[in-house]
Structure 1
Protein backbone atom coordinates (compact mmCIF):
# COMPACT_ATOMS: atom_id res chain seq x y z
CA UNK A 1 0.00 0.00 0.00
CA UNK A 2 1.30 3.48 -0.86
CA UNK A 3 2.77 5.68 1.83
CA UNK A 4 3.44 9.42 1.68
CA UNK A 5 6.22 11.47 3.22
CA UNK A 6 5.84 15.25 3.22
CA UNK A 7 9.38 16.55 2.82
CA UNK A 8 8.91 19.90 4.65
CA UNK A 9 7.66 18.29 7.86
CA UNK A 10 8.75 14.64 7.49
CA UNK A 11 5.11 13.74 8.28
CA UNK A 12 4.09 10.29 7.02
CA UNK A 13 0.64 9.35 5.75
CA UNK A 14 -0.38 5.71 5.40
CA UNK A 15 -3.56 3.70 4.93
CA UNK A 16 -5.41 3.49 1.63
CA UNK A 17 -8.15 5.99 2.53
CA UNK A 18 -5.74 8.54 4.05
CA UNK A 19 -3.36 8.29 1.07
CA UNK A 20 -6.25 8.61 -1.39
CA UNK A 21 -7.63 11.69 0.42
CA UNK A 22 -4.24 13.42 0.61
CA UNK A 23 -3.45 12.77 -3.06
CA UNK A 24 -6.93 13.82 -4.14
CA UNK A 25 -6.37 17.21 -2.47
CA UNK A 26 -3.19 17.50 -4.58
CA UNK A 27 -5.16 16.54 -7.76
CA UNK A 28 -3.26 13.22 -7.99
CA UNK A 29 -5.30 10.11 -8.81
CA UNK A 30 -4.62 7.09 -6.60
CA UNK A 31 -6.19 3.68 -7.01
CA UNK A 32 -5.33 0.17 -5.93
CA UNK A 33 -5.49 -2.93 -8.10
CA UNK A 34 -5.31 -6.48 -6.74
CA UNK A 35 -1.63 -7.47 -7.12
CA UNK A 36 -2.40 -11.11 -6.26
CA UNK A 37 -3.99 -11.45 -9.73
CA UNK A 38 -0.50 -11.53 -11.20
CA UNK A 39 0.66 -15.12 -11.77
CA UNK A 40 3.19 -16.24 -9.13
CA UNK A 41 5.98 -16.70 -11.70
CA UNK A 42 5.81 -12.95 -12.51
CA UNK A 43 5.39 -11.50 -9.01
CA UNK A 44 9.13 -11.16 -8.37
CA UNK A 45 10.43 -11.28 -11.93
CA UNK A 46 12.06 -8.06 -13.16
CA UNK A 47 13.87 -9.16 -16.34
CA UNK A 48 10.87 -9.68 -18.58
CA UNK A 49 10.45 -11.23 -22.01
CA UNK A 50 7.92 -9.85 -24.48
CA UNK A 51 5.71 -12.81 -23.56
CA UNK A 52 5.95 -11.90 -19.86
CA UNK A 53 4.94 -8.32 -20.65
CA UNK A 54 1.98 -9.52 -22.72
CA UNK A 55 0.89 -11.78 -19.87
CA UNK A 56 1.00 -8.87 -17.39
CA UNK A 57 -1.03 -6.67 -19.73
CA UNK A 58 -3.52 -9.50 -20.27
CA UNK A 59 -3.82 -10.12 -16.51
CA UNK A 60 -4.75 -6.51 -15.85
CA UNK A 61 -6.62 -5.89 -19.11
CA UNK A 62 -9.95 -5.10 -17.41
CA UNK A 63 -8.37 -2.59 -15.00
CA UNK A 64 -6.26 -0.98 -17.75
CA UNK A 65 -9.21 -0.57 -20.11
CA UNK A 66 -11.42 0.79 -17.33
CA UNK A 67 -8.81 3.43 -16.40
CA UNK A 68 -8.14 4.22 -20.07
CA UNK A 69 -11.85 4.67 -20.79
CA UNK A 70 -12.35 6.95 -17.78
CA UNK A 71 -9.27 9.11 -18.41
CA UNK A 72 -8.78 9.06 -22.19
CA UNK A 73 -5.59 7.01 -22.37
CA UNK A 74 -4.98 5.53 -25.81
CA UNK A 75 -1.92 3.33 -25.44
CA UNK A 76 -0.10 1.40 -22.71
CA UNK A 77 3.00 -0.69 -22.18
CA UNK A 78 5.18 -2.27 -19.51
CA UNK A 79 8.36 -0.83 -18.05
CA UNK A 80 10.65 -3.08 -16.04
CA UNK A 81 13.69 -1.76 -14.21
CA UNK A 82 16.23 -3.66 -12.13
CA UNK A 83 19.97 -4.13 -11.88
CA UNK A 84 19.55 -6.45 -14.89
CA UNK A 85 18.43 -3.43 -16.99
CA UNK A 86 21.26 -2.30 -19.28
CA UNK A 87 22.53 1.18 -18.35
CA UNK A 88 20.12 1.41 -15.40
CA UNK A 89 22.01 4.24 -13.69
CA UNK A 90 22.03 6.32 -16.88
CA UNK A 91 18.32 5.65 -17.38
CA UNK A 92 17.53 6.67 -13.79
CA UNK A 93 19.40 9.96 -14.27
CA UNK A 94 16.90 10.76 -17.02
CA UNK A 95 13.97 10.01 -14.70
CA UNK A 96 15.48 11.64 -11.59
CA UNK A 97 15.36 15.23 -12.82
CA UNK A 98 12.34 17.32 -11.89
CA UNK A 99 10.17 17.61 -15.00
CA UNK A 100 6.62 18.00 -16.27
CA UNK A 101 4.60 16.41 -19.06
CA UNK A 102 1.88 17.63 -21.42
CA UNK A 103 -0.25 14.69 -20.27
CA UNK A 104 -0.74 12.71 -17.04
CA UNK A 105 2.08 10.40 -15.97
CA UNK A 106 0.37 7.15 -15.05
CA UNK A 107 1.93 4.11 -13.44
CA UNK A 108 0.27 0.92 -12.19
CA UNK A 109 2.85 -1.00 -10.18
CA UNK A 110 2.62 -4.76 -10.72
CA UNK A 111 5.84 -5.78 -8.91
CA UNK A 112 8.58 -4.11 -6.89
CA UNK A 113 8.65 -0.61 -5.43
CA UNK A 114 9.29 2.97 -6.53
CA UNK A 115 8.88 6.58 -5.46
CA UNK A 116 7.24 9.54 -7.16
CA UNK A 117 8.44 12.88 -5.82
CA UNK A 118 5.73 15.44 -6.60
CA UNK A 119 5.50 19.19 -6.08
CA UNK A 120 2.27 19.84 -4.19
CA UNK A 121 0.54 23.08 -3.38
CA UNK A 122 2.32 26.00 -1.63
CA UNK A 123 1.52 24.71 1.86
CA UNK A 124 2.68 21.13 1.23
CA UNK A 125 5.68 21.59 -1.08
CA UNK A 126 7.33 18.42 -2.35
CA UNK A 127 6.16 15.03 -1.12
CA UNK A 128 7.22 11.44 -1.78
CA UNK A 129 4.72 8.77 -2.75
CA UNK A 130 6.24 5.36 -2.02
CA UNK A 131 4.52 2.81 -4.24
CA UNK A 132 4.38 -0.98 -4.28
CA UNK A 133 2.58 -3.72 -6.19
CA UNK A 134 -1.09 -2.84 -6.68
CA UNK A 135 -0.66 0.93 -6.38
CA UNK A 136 -1.84 3.05 -9.33
CA UNK A 137 -0.99 6.74 -9.57
CA UNK A 138 -1.64 9.47 -12.11
CA UNK A 139 0.37 12.68 -11.76
CA UNK A 140 -1.55 15.43 -13.61
CA UNK A 141 -0.10 17.11 -16.67
CA UNK A 142 2.03 20.13 -15.85
CA UNK A 143 2.81 19.01 -12.27
CA UNK A 144 6.53 19.07 -11.41
CA UNK A 145 7.70 15.62 -10.33
CA UNK A 146 10.15 12.82 -10.90
CA UNK A 147 10.38 9.08 -10.31
CA UNK A 148 13.07 6.88 -8.83
CA UNK A 149 13.51 3.38 -7.47
CA UNK A 150 13.59 2.27 -3.84
CA UNK A 151 16.72 0.71 -2.35
CA UNK A 152 15.99 -2.71 -3.87
CA UNK A 153 16.06 -1.11 -7.37
CA UNK A 154 13.31 -3.30 -8.83
CA UNK A 155 9.98 -2.34 -10.37
CA UNK A 156 7.52 -3.44 -13.04
CA UNK A 157 4.76 -1.03 -14.00
CA UNK A 158 2.06 -0.54 -16.59
CA UNK A 159 2.39 2.90 -18.21
CA UNK A 160 -0.64 4.53 -19.84
CA UNK A 161 -0.48 7.41 -22.32
CA UNK A 162 -2.70 9.77 -24.26
CA UNK A 163 0.11 10.71 -26.64
CA UNK A 164 1.05 7.74 -28.80
CA UNK A 165 4.72 8.84 -28.70
CA UNK A 166 4.93 7.69 -25.06
CA UNK A 167 7.06 9.25 -22.32
CA UNK A 168 8.17 12.82 -23.12
CA UNK A 169 9.60 14.95 -20.29
CA UNK A 170 10.05 18.72 -20.13
CA UNK A 171 12.70 19.97 -17.70
CA UNK A 172 11.45 21.97 -14.74
CA UNK A 173 14.07 24.15 -13.09
CA UNK A 174 13.11 24.56 -9.43
CA UNK A 175 15.78 26.05 -7.14
CA UNK A 176 13.61 25.18 -4.11
CA UNK A 177 13.88 21.44 -4.76
CA UNK A 178 16.45 19.53 -2.70
CA UNK A 179 17.04 15.81 -3.41
Structure 2
Protein backbone atom coordinates (compact mmCIF):
# COMPACT_ATOMS: atom_id res chain seq x y z
CA UNK A 1 0.00 0.00 0.00
CA UNK A 2 1.36 3.42 -0.97
CA UNK A 3 1.97 5.91 1.80
CA UNK A 4 3.15 9.49 2.25
CA UNK A 5 4.62 10.72 5.52
CA UNK A 6 5.42 14.42 5.78
CA UNK A 7 8.08 15.43 8.31
CA UNK A 8 9.53 18.72 9.41
CA UNK A 9 13.14 18.27 8.31
CA UNK A 10 14.35 19.14 11.84
CA UNK A 11 12.12 16.47 13.47
CA UNK A 12 12.65 13.11 11.76
CA UNK A 13 11.27 11.11 14.70
CA UNK A 14 7.61 11.94 14.10
CA UNK A 15 5.67 12.55 10.90
CA UNK A 16 3.40 15.61 10.98
CA UNK A 17 0.94 14.05 8.54
CA UNK A 18 0.42 10.57 7.08
CA UNK A 19 -1.60 9.77 3.96
CA UNK A 20 -2.61 6.34 2.63
CA UNK A 21 -5.28 7.23 0.08
CA UNK A 22 -4.06 7.68 -3.49
CA UNK A 23 -5.92 10.99 -3.95
CA UNK A 24 -4.45 12.45 -0.75
CA UNK A 25 -0.90 11.41 -1.70
CA UNK A 26 -1.32 12.77 -5.23
CA UNK A 27 -2.68 16.11 -3.99
CA UNK A 28 -0.03 16.61 -1.28
CA UNK A 29 2.80 15.87 -3.72
CA UNK A 30 1.27 18.10 -6.39
CA UNK A 31 1.61 21.01 -3.94
CA UNK A 32 5.41 20.66 -4.26
CA UNK A 33 5.41 20.03 -8.01
CA UNK A 34 5.77 16.24 -7.88
CA UNK A 35 3.48 14.04 -9.97
CA UNK A 36 2.03 10.85 -8.50
CA UNK A 37 -0.11 8.60 -10.69
CA UNK A 38 -1.52 5.11 -10.67
CA UNK A 39 -1.14 3.02 -13.85
CA UNK A 40 -2.76 -0.21 -15.00
CA UNK A 41 -1.19 -2.67 -17.43
CA UNK A 42 -3.00 -3.25 -20.71
CA UNK A 43 -2.35 -6.97 -20.32
CA UNK A 44 -1.36 -9.45 -17.62
CA UNK A 45 2.38 -9.78 -16.98
CA UNK A 46 4.17 -12.66 -15.30
CA UNK A 47 7.30 -12.36 -13.16
CA UNK A 48 9.54 -13.37 -16.07
CA UNK A 49 8.22 -10.71 -18.48
CA UNK A 50 10.95 -9.21 -20.65
CA UNK A 51 11.74 -5.50 -20.80
CA UNK A 52 9.90 -5.23 -24.13
CA UNK A 53 6.82 -7.00 -22.75
CA UNK A 54 6.73 -4.71 -19.70
CA UNK A 55 7.09 -1.57 -21.81
CA UNK A 56 4.40 -2.75 -24.23
CA UNK A 57 1.97 -3.44 -21.37
CA UNK A 58 2.27 0.21 -20.27
CA UNK A 59 2.81 1.72 -23.74
CA UNK A 60 -0.13 4.16 -23.65
CA UNK A 61 0.94 5.75 -20.34
CA UNK A 62 4.62 5.77 -21.35
CA UNK A 63 3.86 7.45 -24.69
CA UNK A 64 1.76 10.10 -22.94
CA UNK A 65 4.64 11.03 -20.62
CA UNK A 66 7.22 10.86 -23.41
CA UNK A 67 5.20 13.34 -25.43
CA UNK A 68 4.44 15.62 -22.46
CA UNK A 69 8.04 15.88 -21.18
CA UNK A 70 10.18 15.00 -24.19
CA UNK A 71 11.54 11.79 -22.74
CA UNK A 72 13.91 10.17 -25.25
CA UNK A 73 14.44 6.74 -23.73
CA UNK A 74 12.75 4.19 -21.53
CA UNK A 75 14.06 1.05 -19.85
CA UNK A 76 13.15 -1.44 -17.13
CA UNK A 77 15.30 -2.12 -14.09
CA UNK A 78 14.88 -5.23 -11.94
CA UNK A 79 16.55 -5.59 -8.57
CA UNK A 80 16.24 -8.46 -6.12
CA UNK A 81 17.74 -9.38 -2.77
CA UNK A 82 20.17 -11.68 -4.64
CA UNK A 83 21.78 -8.83 -6.60
CA UNK A 84 25.52 -8.88 -5.78
CA UNK A 85 25.76 -5.07 -5.55
CA UNK A 86 22.50 -4.43 -3.67
CA UNK A 87 24.23 -2.99 -0.58
CA UNK A 88 26.44 -0.62 -2.59
CA UNK A 89 23.49 0.49 -4.69
CA UNK A 90 21.37 1.13 -1.62
CA UNK A 91 24.14 3.17 -0.01
CA UNK A 92 24.57 5.31 -3.13
CA UNK A 93 20.85 6.01 -3.55
CA UNK A 94 20.48 6.81 0.18
CA UNK A 95 22.77 9.82 -0.20
CA UNK A 96 20.84 13.05 -0.78
CA UNK A 97 21.16 14.20 -4.39
CA UNK A 98 19.59 16.00 -7.33
CA UNK A 99 19.49 15.40 -11.09
CA UNK A 100 19.60 17.80 -14.01
CA UNK A 101 16.89 15.58 -15.52
CA UNK A 102 13.56 14.32 -14.25
CA UNK A 103 13.59 11.25 -12.04
CA UNK A 104 10.62 9.28 -13.26
CA UNK A 105 9.88 5.80 -11.93
CA UNK A 106 6.92 3.51 -12.38
CA UNK A 107 6.76 0.51 -10.05
CA UNK A 108 5.75 -2.57 -12.03
CA UNK A 109 6.47 -4.76 -8.98
CA UNK A 110 7.85 -4.29 -5.49
CA UNK A 111 8.42 -1.07 -3.60
CA UNK A 112 10.80 1.78 -2.86
CA UNK A 113 10.89 4.81 -0.56
CA UNK A 114 11.52 8.22 -2.15
CA UNK A 115 12.31 10.98 0.35
CA UNK A 116 11.82 14.42 -1.19
CA UNK A 117 13.21 17.46 0.63
CA UNK A 118 11.38 20.68 -0.12
CA UNK A 119 10.52 23.88 1.79
CA UNK A 120 11.79 22.62 5.15
CA UNK A 121 9.84 19.36 4.88
CA UNK A 122 10.68 15.77 3.96
CA UNK A 123 8.03 13.91 1.97
CA UNK A 124 8.68 10.20 2.57
CA UNK A 125 6.81 8.60 -0.32
CA UNK A 126 6.43 4.83 -0.25
CA UNK A 127 5.79 3.69 -3.82
CA UNK A 128 4.38 0.24 -4.51
CA UNK A 129 3.10 -1.72 -7.49
CA UNK A 130 1.19 0.52 -9.90
CA UNK A 131 2.65 3.83 -8.67
CA UNK A 132 4.38 6.40 -10.86
CA UNK A 133 6.45 9.13 -9.25
CA UNK A 134 7.80 11.97 -11.39
CA UNK A 135 10.31 14.31 -9.72
CA UNK A 136 11.16 17.51 -11.61
CA UNK A 137 14.81 18.26 -12.40
CA UNK A 138 16.85 19.58 -9.45
CA UNK A 139 14.50 18.12 -6.82
CA UNK A 140 16.52 17.29 -3.70
CA UNK A 141 15.83 13.69 -2.65
CA UNK A 142 17.16 10.27 -1.70
CA UNK A 143 15.84 6.79 -2.42
CA UNK A 144 15.76 3.65 -0.29
CA UNK A 145 15.30 0.31 -2.01
CA UNK A 146 15.46 -1.50 1.35
CA UNK A 147 17.89 -4.09 2.74
CA UNK A 148 16.28 -6.90 0.72
CA UNK A 149 15.24 -5.14 -2.50
CA UNK A 150 12.42 -6.44 -4.62
CA UNK A 151 11.46 -4.15 -7.43
CA UNK A 152 10.88 -3.91 -11.14
CA UNK A 153 10.53 -0.36 -12.39
CA UNK A 154 10.17 1.51 -15.65
CA UNK A 155 12.53 4.48 -15.96
CA UNK A 156 12.14 7.37 -18.41
CA UNK A 157 14.93 9.79 -19.40
CA UNK A 158 15.28 12.94 -21.50
CA UNK A 159 19.02 12.39 -22.00
CA UNK A 160 21.00 9.37 -23.22
CA UNK A 161 23.19 9.48 -20.10
CA UNK A 162 20.30 8.26 -17.94
CA UNK A 163 20.75 8.38 -14.14
CA UNK A 164 23.36 11.05 -13.28
CA UNK A 165 23.34 12.38 -9.72
CA UNK A 166 24.79 15.50 -8.11
CA UNK A 167 25.27 14.65 -4.44
CA UNK A 168 24.61 17.43 -1.92
CA UNK A 169 26.95 16.10 0.78
CA UNK A 170 24.24 16.68 3.40
CA UNK A 171 23.78 13.73 5.78
CA UNK A 172 20.08 14.45 6.47
CA UNK A 173 19.06 11.07 5.03
CA UNK A 174 20.83 9.33 7.91
CA UNK A 175 18.30 10.84 10.35
CA UNK A 176 15.10 9.62 8.68
CA UNK A 177 13.37 6.22 8.82
CA UNK A 178 14.62 3.64 6.35
CA UNK A 179 12.60 1.15 4.34
CA UNK A 180 12.88 -1.55 7.00
CA UNK A 181 11.47 -2.58 10.36
CA UNK A 182 10.34 -1.11 12.66
CA UNK A 183 9.33 1.86 10.47
CA UNK A 184 7.80 -0.17 7.61
CA UNK A 185 7.28 -3.60 9.23
CA UNK A 186 4.50 -5.15 7.14
CA UNK A 187 5.51 -3.84 3.76
CA UNK A 188 5.88 -7.03 1.74
CA UNK A 189 2.67 -8.55 3.08
CA UNK A 190 0.62 -5.41 2.34
CA UNK A 191 1.98 -4.75 -1.16
| The two structures share one fold, judged by TM-score above 0.5 | yes
2:155 — aligned with what?
159
- Quote the residue 1:48 is aligned against: none
What is the deviation of 1:36?
7.9
SS of 1:7's equivalent in the other structure is: strand
1:133 paired residue among 89, 109, 129: 129
Correspondence list, 1:59-78, <5 A: 59-78=57-76
CA offset at residue 173 of structure 1? 2.6
Give the aligned partner of residue 105 of structure 1: 103
Which residue pairs with 1:7 in the alignment?
7
* Distance in 2 (alpha carbons) for counterparts of 1:36 and 1:17: 22
The offset of 1:175, in angstroms, is: 5.2
| 1:176–1:153 Cα change, 3 Å | closer
Q: Which residue is 1:26 aligned to?
A: 32
For residues 67-105 of structure 1, give each alpha carbon's deviation from its aligned partner in whole angstroms, at most 9, with x where no partner exists.
111111110101111112221111111111100000110
| CA pair 63-148 structure 1, distance change in 2 beyond 3 A | same
- How many residues align? The count is 169
- What is the root-mean-square deviation of aligned Cα atoms in Å? 1.8
**One of 146, 169, 172 as aligned partner of 1:173:** 169
- Partner Cα distance (2:87, 2:93) in 1: 10
Q: CA, structure 1 residues 14+151, in 2 after alignment: closer, same or farther (shift >3 Å)?
A: farther
Cross-structure match for 2:85: 87
Runs (4+) off by over 3 Å: 35-38
Shift of 1:163: 0.9
- CA contact under 8 A between 2:98 and 2:138: conserved in structure 1? yes
Q: What is the alpha-carbon distance in structure 1 between the residues aligned to residue 116 and residue 43 of structure 2? A: 29
Whole-angstrom CA distance in 1 between matches of 2:117 and 2:160: 26
Q: Which runs of 5+ in 1 are unaligned?
A: 46-50
Q: Distance in 2 between matches of 1:129 and 1:35?
A: 22
Give the TM-score, by structure 1 length: 0.86
| Alpha-carbon distance in 2 for matches of 1:38, 1:24 | 30
